[in-house]
Structure 1
Amino acid sequence: MILVAGLMPRMKDYVRRESDVSGILNQPLWSNMDVERRQDLIAQSHDEMAFWTLPDDFLLAVLGHLPTRELFTARLVCRRFRDLCLHRQLWKTRSLANDLFGSVSVDFGLRRAVLSLAPCLRRLSLSPGHCIRLAPFVPSVSQLNIDLAFYGEGQEITCDNAQDFINLVQRLSSLGGLTELGFCLALENPNSLLVQALLKTIYTISGLQSLFIGGEIPLAADISVDVKVEPSLKKINYRSLGDDACERVPFIGSLLKAHASTLEEVIVELHDVPLSPLQGSKKLRSLTIFPHEELPLLVDCPNLSTIEIVYSDRWVYPAGTIEFFRRAVSLRSVTFTCPVRDSLAPLVALAGSKAAKRVWMLDIFATSPDVITLLGISLYKFPSLRRLTFQGKVTDDFLRAVDPAATPNLTSLALDVCHDGSPCAHSWLHGPAIQDLFARNPRLGLHIENWYGKYGRDCSCRWCSWGCHSKLVEPKGGFSADYI
């Protein structure tokens, strides 16, 4: 009862805030309420409004502010609250997570209470060990993640816990509403009957829209050709966490074929993956992949605007990748790593394409000094460029090439690694090349992602000695910052 007594003032405080005219009108739960009814409620004096006479939709808006544990405490207030606190409106946006990034972890008891009573959840993150204990209680869930934040030992799906994971996914699939699924695999026998059952369970989830799979061992198993599903996936993300990138993963090819008509974003870190199922796709918007010979098949995808060529240890790009850049029409955001041999080929092909004049984001990693020279010369071919990231040695000649006459829309320049010939980040930032850059481009923001060279205590230049970019230990005048 002490908890309840402490909760009531807090509830009434929420009510007072929600009773404000602007607050009420902005509540989505009130959007369908009769206008005259809202005006009557607003017109009432706050002091005279009886807390218990508030309509359900108003109380739901108030209860939505409470943390999960206090929401359960509020059920003890009265019979009306007992039912309202389990309303779907309150739970369809709530999440339970094990990870330490974003969502607050909860103890096992509260987690079990939520899963036993809540009618639904937006996102649920479990460790593999929790699958077997909590599977019978899990309600309808939109997003299921198996501890993706850690990628550590004990967080993957193994042969020991795969059956528990299968049971959990089958239960959620039968309840309906599961749209996002993510997990990591560490399977000793990737072609076993258990693995085949796991893949079939995933493959046959009705209405699944987003799938993340991380793996260290290649999946040799595949889906039987007689298994038919309705296409629904919008995003596939297969991240290779080991040495399986060069191996063939038939299951990914089956997913691409089955969901080609609905896929919008494809992230596949595999060298050997068929792209023919995506040929001519009208939905495909974004592709992340290793250099690939079949990329020209996707030139005619009208909405493919984002491409990322993942770093590869191959010395040269396949001819098909260069041809794709040369023939590209719809690209707007391009990221690639220049190969060791013929390092200029991707940039030359892209700069000469029809897409160049519409590209607004360009991210390039290069080790050859010739690339930065070519980039400076080619900037005028990218008049729509707003964000440019270059990871490699930067020259003063390149900085002089960054000019509104060539790139009138450029507002962000991000540089990674060290400047060629400058021993210190501070002296370079205060040097004439950077000062001239800012003078010519008053709207430009410069971001130094990483600096591998002398810095701070390791440098004796006048800027480092002065400490103009040192950490502020004792902020003064109410101003606080990490670095200036």
Structure 2
Amino acid sequence: MESEGKPSDATQVAAVDSPAMAMEDEMQGLNVETSLLSLPDDDLLSVLEYLSTRDLLSCRAVCHRLRDVALRPELWRRRSIDFGQRDASTASLRPAVLRVAPCASSLSMWFEGRSDALGTLAATTRCAAAELIIYVDNDPARLEAAKLAIRNQAALGMLRTLDVRVVAHKSNDIHAADLLAEACSTQGLARLVVDVSYGIRWCKGAGPSPLIPASIKEVALRNVDPRFVHRVLRSHAATLQAVQLRGNCQGVAPLLAAIPGLQRLECPVMEDLPLVAKCASLRSLKLAVVYCRDEAAFQAAAAFLRAATHLEELQLEYYSLGSVRVEQGLLTALASSGRAALRKLVYSCLIGFEDRLETELASALPGLPALEWLVLPGTVPRRVLAAINPGSAPRLRGLMIANWTSEAGCLHADMHEPDVSRVLASYSHFYLVVRNRSCRQERQCEHCAKGCHGVPWPTGEALVGFYTHEAPSREAADALSSGSPCKLWIKP
């Protein structure tokens, strides 16, 4: 029997092993560090690429070699860093990154709340970003700090994308205008996004800077003073390929018509839109019919669509029944020539107009002989399917109906309806995407109870796709989307 207080053999062994194990762990750590440091620079860089930004910064304290290697541009040029105020863990890295990092793929800076320290760092950092994303509120000091951050990044020479999001109120219009003037005069950009959350009454003295060398290929300007819009379109007409405009577009159409390489356009209806039909390079148009009660503007849009037979992709976006002219549908205008090159049509309305949609589709489809993809993101009646057949749409390859009205409470039951079966059977290669609606487990329809199609009916997917011949390619899945593409496909 062991005497009281005397350690057991196991305890003695453990006591002996503890320092030995600690020494062994320390030696293993040294071996790992030694073997890591023995790597050539290229191999060491390949290993360090997998480290988080925090760990990469920590490497600088290990030894002289890691301190130097950890700041090689190769390790930073693909990193995207968001200094959001809401992410405390990332925000804590801000001083170190802006002081020592040589470059970054993207920097996101939030000038709001307590961001005074960010202003100084952002205006003086040597960390050159290819993309700069700025969020700024309506505080004059923070608007000024954001302007200086843009100026500094432009001077560093790597900036290609500038994205500025402004929440501004009319009390600080002059400060917001100064920030926009800085953004619109930044040279060397390939992409520019300026989004103003609230309308601003622009001061008469706040104007854009002189014209700069053309470089921008893609621009998105939302709720921006038309003077800035005009200056950007004039400065970069030689290089622009994609333009997105929202808000006041007064006087914009002649400038759009003068862009020789314009391929993609998103804009509201405007009275001088027919001028843009002269852009022979234009292939994609998203037209927002925003409460368009101006008959002249609506007729101008119809005239544009009658002339723009070279369009390959069109999205008509209605916001309400008040914006729909029953006597002259835009889709009917597009199809009137019978020569439209349109391959994809997205036809959406936030408030449904069931009978109108069915009638207009039925009359327009024969005039769209090249149509391959039809996307209907709003709520539409299932009887729209009656308008779809090889006679009216001979080249149609796919249809997306986000939400159709039906007496059946289950999408599975809908798929057995005669119109659905007819459409799928009419085309040898066809894709149908619909929003998923399933039975409750305790009250299954007869089709869900049978478990047909050879697979369990999906319950966790927002969209379900069906194909007649083979699973869709990436092109087909993307073509049948108005946002995220469908990921689940079934062969019925």
* TM range, smaller chain: 0.7 to 0.9
In 2 relative to 1, CA 328–81 (structure 1 residues): closer, same or farther, beyond 3 Å?
same
Contact in 1 for aligned 2:99/2:125 (Cα 8 Å)? yes
Which residue of the partner structure matches residue 336 of structure 1?
316
* Amino acid paired to 1:278: L
Partner SS for 2:189:
coil
AA in 1 matched with 2:301: T
Of 135, 144, 164, the match for 2:132:
144
Matched to 1:446, the amino acid is L
Identify the match of residue 251 of structure 1 among 225, 228, 239.
228
Distance in 1 of aligned mates of 2:377 and 2:176: 40
Which secondary structure does the structure 2 equivalent of 1:107 belong to? helix
Find the aligned partners of 1:202 and 1:393 in 2 and give their Cα distance.
Answer: 40
Superimposed CA distance per residue, residues 4-27 of structure 1 (whole angstroms, 9 cap, x where no aligned partner): 976985997xx9xxxxxxxxxxxx
Q: Which amino acid aligns with 2:238?
A: S
Per-residue CA deviation, residues 105-141 of structure 1 (Å, 9 max, x unaligned), is 8433323222211111110112114432532335111
Which amino acid counterpart does residue 255 of structure 1 have in structure 2? V
Which stretch of the first structure deviates more once superposed, 460-469 or 315-324? 460-469
Q: Given residue 351 of structure 1, which amino acid in structure 2 is its aligned partner?
A: A
- Which of 301, 321, 336 is the matching residue for 1:321? 301
1:235–1:266 contact (8 Å) kept in structure 2: yes
Match of 1:348 in 2: 332
Q: CA RMSD in A?
A: 3.8
> Is residue 271–residue 292 contact of structure 1 (8 Å, CA) maintained in 2?
no
**Given residue 121 of structure 2, which amino acid in structure 1 is its aligned partner?**
L
Gaps of 5+ in 2: 1-24, 461-486
SS at match of 1:146: strand
SS in 1 for 2:404: coil
For residues 409 and 347 of structure 1, the distance between their equivalents in structure 2, rounded to whole angstroms, comes to 18
Match of 2:20 in 1: none
For the 8 Å contact 2:185–2:208, the answer to whether it is kept is no
| CA offsets 1:334-356 (integer angstroms, 9 cap, x no match) | 00035422365211111134762
CA displacement 1:128-162 (0-9 Å, x = unmatched): 14432532335111111125xxxxxxx63543521
Matching residue's letter, 2:119: I
**1:32-71 matched pairs, under 5 angstroms:** 52=38, 54=40, 56-71=41-56
Counterpart of 1:134, as a letter, is L
DSSP-derived class of the 1:97 partner:
strand
Deviations 1:239-280 (A, max 9, x none): 35xxx9xxx643222222222222221111124332211224
Query: Which residue of 1 is the match for residue 355 of structure 2?
Result: 369
Q: How high is the TM-score relative to the length of structure 2?
A: 0.73
Q: In the alignment, is the contact (CA less than 8 A) between 2:332 and 2:363 conserved in 1?
A: no
TM-score, structure 1 length as denominator? 0.74
**Greater Rg over alpha carbons, structure:** 2
Cα separation, 2, equivalents of 1:118 and 1:388 = 48
Counterpart pick for 1:88 among 70, 73, 83 = 73
2:194 aligns to what SS in structure 1?
A: strand
Quote how far apart the aligned CAs of 1:281 are.
1.7
Which residue of structure 2 lines up, in the alignment, with residue 412 of structure 1?
398
Q: Offset of 1:324 from its aligned partner?
A: 0.8
The 1:422–1:294 alpha-carbon spacing in structure 2 relative to 1, beyond 3 Å, is: farther
Q: Which has the higher strand share?
A: 2
Identity %: 25
Contact 2:60/2:67 (8 A) holds in 1? yes
Shift of 1:208: 2.1
Secondary structure, counterpart of 2:187 in structure 1 = coil
Rounded to whole Å, the distance in 2 between the matches of 1:201 and 1:4 is 56
Which residue number corresponds to residue 471 of structure 1?
Answer: 459
The aligned residue for residue 159 of structure 2 is 178
In structure 1, the gaps of 5 or more residues are 16-50, 148-154, 473-480
Query: 1:186 Cα shift?
Result: 2.5
Note if 1:379 corresponds to 2:365: yes
Q: Which residue of 2 aligns with 1:237?
A: 220
Q: Could you tell me whether the CA contact under 8 Å between 1:11 and 1:62 is conserved in 2?
A: no
Distance 1:446 1:83, change over 3 A: same
User: Of 264, 278, 295, which aligns to 2:241?
Assistant: 264
CA gap 1:71/1:269 in 2 versus in 1, 3 angstroms: same
Cα shift at 1:78:
4.6
- Identify the residue that residue 187 of structure 2 maps to in structure 1: 206
Q: Partners in 2 of 1:365 and 1:218 — Cα distance?
A: 30
**C-alpha contact (below 8 Å) 2:385/2:419 kept by paired residues:** yes
Alignment of 1:50-129 (within 5 A): 52=38, 54=40, 56-76=41-61, 78-98=63-83, 106-129=89-112
Report the CA distance between 1:434 and its aligned residue: 1.5
The residue aligned with 2:147 is: 166
Please tell me whether the aligned partners of residues 97 and 105 of structure 1 are also in contact (alpha carbons under 8 angstroms): no
Aligned with residue 288 of structure 1, among 260, 263, 266: 266
CA distance in 1, matches of 2:442, 2:405: 17
Q: Judging changes above 3 Å, is the alpha-carbon distance between structure 1 residues 461 and 84 closer, same or farther for their aligned structure 2 residues?
A: same
Quick one: distance in 2 between partners of 1:7 and 1:368? 73
